[in-house]
């Protein structure tokens, strides 16, 4: 009897040891996994915060190009309903880009040895509206079909820091091992043979005219005005991403235009207080040329957004540019 | 009797060992979390400093405030009427919300010091209801009055709140 009791006690002891030991082991395993996830999230958070600062600083030096050492992680860019964000590939934390107007492909970085390229230009329409950042990497190749003067000009103008090649319509696009290809053609040209590529490409089809130094038209059926917007379409490749970033840019333009109108008002008030500037009245008055042109710009931005037509905006921008020269010649000061 | 006492002592030893081990584990966890919170505080401070500087740079480079092309090629130049227009435009909710999300909680003021000292233009002010800290950055600028055809040496103070 005592023997049986001892046997049960020993068995029970071992069961207790196994259960308790198993629970303690489980606790430590869960703790380690939680810490690993938290550490990964923390690293992603820190990196994204530093990237945010880097983007802010590099965006403040327009007409500059900078390259960065390869990242060990990839960055994914998303733009939905006017809200642009990016995140480290595999991370659940996204950084929303309130400050930056950026055009970039869906993914940047992550491949070994691929340096990042950041190109900043000021969006001028015709006054400086906002800096625009074009962000890509050396693993994205831009293939220009340079059979037409426009695409040839774009190819020559694109900084050499980007991976770019020039092909003709008769050529087959070579697969040189890049992660993604963006083929740039003019609408009338047609498409070169992409049979070597494994469906890892976007096509950017440009239909544009140049008037009074300003280029406008459509890219993949999406209206654009100005070279800066056209570069946005080329760098991005993806039409949905481009359209979303373009919408953000145009909304900033609306805001900048309203401030410009307010400035005209303030200058007019100052001239009226001075009792001078009657020569400038037709420029600065509320029904004057400057205000009317800025109102037309505001209306035509909405035409671009709603009706996908950029002709009115292009001509309004050209008018305001001429008015600026006229204002200076009449010694009424620069409008911008 | 002696055997029972020995058994009791051994049981007591086992319990004491378990208590000490648990105590050491708890101590280790407390130290670890204190260390982590210290690191988090340091990271937060560093991020705050970075945020303050990047906000100041962002404000100083706003195209909405810049002088016309002829006024200054090499210095950060603000147009007085653009500064006033910007300040008034922020009263419009749509425009105000855009810049509140762009700049955040901050004050931005230009103060002249030559040839006229003391003229002050606060063109952006957005303060949180509960201010736990603030960091100021100062940037020298030119302030241009194109109507009076005057220029002032000034500085821009951007105070970022947390």
Collapsing DSSP to helix, strand or coil, B80 comes out as helix
Q: Is B16 among the domain residues?
A: no
- Which residue range(s) make up the domain with B68? 41-161
Whole-number pLDDT of residue A289: 87
**With contact defined as beta carbons under 8 Å apart, do A56 and B54 qualify?**
yes
* In contact, A258 and B92? CB cutoff 8 Å: yes
pLDDT recorded at residue B85: 96
Report the C-alpha gap between A44 and A79 in whole angstroms: 20
Residues 6+ apart with CB under 8 A from A131: A59, A60, A62, A101, A120, A121, A122, A123, B61, B63
Domain ranges in chain A are 249-329
Cβ–Cβ < 8 Å for A80, A26: no
* Number of domains making up chain B: 1
Estimate to the nearest angstrom the gap between the alpha carbon of A216 and the chain centroid: 19
**Any domain includes B13:** no
The answer for A 227-266 residues in CB contact with B (under 8 A) is 252, 255-256, 258-260, 262-263, 265-266
Write out pLDDT tens, residues A97-130.
Answer: 876 799 999 999 876 678 999 999 999 999 999 9
Chain B residues in contact with A49 by the CB 8 A cut-off are 47, 50
Cα–Cα dist A313/A319, whole Å: 10
Q: Which of A35, A48, A259, A290 to mutate: most B Cβ within 10 Å? A: A259
C-alpha span between B146 and B158 (Å, rounded): 24
pTM for the model stands at: 0.83
Q: Which residues neighbour B135 within 8 Å (Cβ) at sequence distance 6 or greater?
A: B48, B49, B52, B159, B160, B162
Nearest CA distance, A145 vs chain B (angstrom): 35
Question: d(Cα A84, Cα A100) in Å, to the nearest integer?
Answer: 9
Within 13 Å and on the Cβ side, how many CA atoms surround A5? 2
Instruction: Identify whether B1 is part of a domain.
Output: no
B69 interaction partners in chain A (CB closer than 8 Å): 334, 336
Name the maximum alpha-carbon separation found in chain A.
Answer: 121
Other CB atoms within 10 A of residue B76 CB: 16
Whole-angstrom distance, CA of residue B92 vs CA of residue A277: 29
pLDDT tens for residues B85-119?
999 999 999 999 999 988 999 999 999 999 999 89
Q: Is the pLDDT of residue B73 over 90?
A: no
What is the pLDDT at residue A273?
A: 80
Give tens-digit pLDDT for A2-16: 677 777 777 878 888
Q: Measured between CB atoms, does B92 come within 8 Å of chain A?
A: yes
Residue-by-residue pLDDT tens, chain A, 336 positions: 667 777 777 787 888 888 888 988 998 888 888 887 777 667 666 676 677 767 777 777 778 898 888 877 888 999 887 788 888 887 777 888 876 799 999 999 876 678 999 999 999 999 999 999 999 999 999 999 999 999 999 999 999 999 999 999 888 888 888 999 999 999 988 887 777 777 889 999 999 999 878 999 999 999 999 999 999 999 999 999 999 999 999 999 999 999 999 999 999 888 888 765 567 778 888 888 899 999 999 999 999 988 889 999 999 999 999 999 998 888 888 899
Q: Is B5 within the bounds of a domain? A: no
Would B150 be classed as within a structural domain?
yes
Helix (H, G, I), strand (E, B) or coil at A76: strand
Q: For residue B98, give the nearest of A57, A255, A260 by CB distance.
A: A255
Return the pLDDT at A12: 79
**B81 falls within a domain:** yes
Q: Is B111 on the interface with A (CB under 8 A)?
A: no
């Amino acid at each position: 009897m005592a023997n049986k009791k001892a046997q049960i006690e020993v068995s029970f002891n071992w069961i207790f040891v196994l259960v308790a030991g198993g629970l303690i082991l489980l606790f430590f395993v869960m703790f380690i996994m939680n810490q690993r996830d938290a550490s990964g999230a923390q690293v992603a958070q820190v990196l994204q915060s530093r990237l945010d600062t880097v983007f802010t600083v590099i965006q403040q030096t327009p007409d500059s190009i900078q390259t960065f050492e390869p990242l060990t992680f990839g960055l994914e860019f998303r733009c939905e309903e006017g809200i642009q964000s990016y995140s480290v590939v595999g991370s659940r934390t996204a950084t929303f880009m309130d400050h930056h107007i950026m055009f970039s492909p869906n993914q940047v970085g992550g491949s070994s040895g691929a340096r990042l390229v950041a190109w900043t230009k000021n969006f001028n329409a015709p006054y400086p509206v906002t800096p625009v950042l074009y962000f890509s990497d050396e693993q994205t190749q831009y293939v220009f079909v340079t059979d037409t003067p426009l695409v040839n000009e774009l190819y020559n103008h694109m900084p050499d820091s980007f991976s770019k090649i020039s092909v003709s319509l008769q050529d087959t696009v070579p697969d040189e091992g890049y992660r993604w290809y963006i083929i740039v053609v003019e609408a009338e040209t047609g498409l070169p043979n992409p049979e070597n590529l494994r469906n890892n490409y976007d096509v950017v089809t440009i239909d544009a005219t140049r008037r009074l130094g300003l280029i406008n038209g459509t890219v993949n059926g999406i209206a654009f005005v100005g070279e800066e917007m056209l570069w946005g379409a080329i760098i991005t490749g993806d039409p949905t991403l481009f359209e979303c970033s373009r919408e953000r840019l145009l909304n900033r333009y609306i805001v900048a235009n309203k401030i410009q109108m307010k400035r005209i008002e303030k200058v007019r008030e100052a001239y009226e207080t001075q009792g001078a500037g009657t020569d400038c009245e037709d420029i600065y008055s509320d029904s004057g040329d400057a205000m009317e042109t800025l109102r037309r710009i505001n209306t035509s931005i909405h035409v671009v957004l709603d009706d996908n037509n950029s002709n009115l905006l292009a001509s309004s921008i050209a008018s305001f540019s001429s008015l600026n020269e006229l204002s200076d010649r009449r010694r009424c000061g620069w409008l911008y | 009797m002696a055997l029972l006492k020995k058994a009791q002592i051994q049981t007591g030893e086992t319990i004491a060992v378990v208590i000490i081990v648990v105590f050491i584990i708890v101590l280790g966890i407390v130290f670890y979390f204190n260390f982590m919170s210290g690191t988090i505080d340091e990271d937060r401070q560093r991020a705050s400093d970075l945020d303050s500087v990047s906000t100041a740079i962002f404000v100083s480079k706003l195209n909405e405030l810049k002088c016309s092309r002829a006024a200054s090629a090499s210095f950060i130049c603000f147009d007085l009427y653009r500064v006033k227009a910007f300040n008034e435009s922020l009263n419009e909710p749509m425009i105000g919300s855009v810049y509140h999300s762009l700049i955040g909680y901050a004050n931005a003021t230009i103060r002249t010091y030559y040839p006229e000292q003391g003229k002050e233009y606060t063109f952006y002010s957005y303060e949180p209801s509960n201010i736990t800290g603030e960091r100021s950055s100062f940037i020298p600028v030119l302030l241009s009055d194109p109507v009076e055809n005057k220029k002032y040496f000034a500085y821009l103070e951007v105070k970022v709140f947390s």
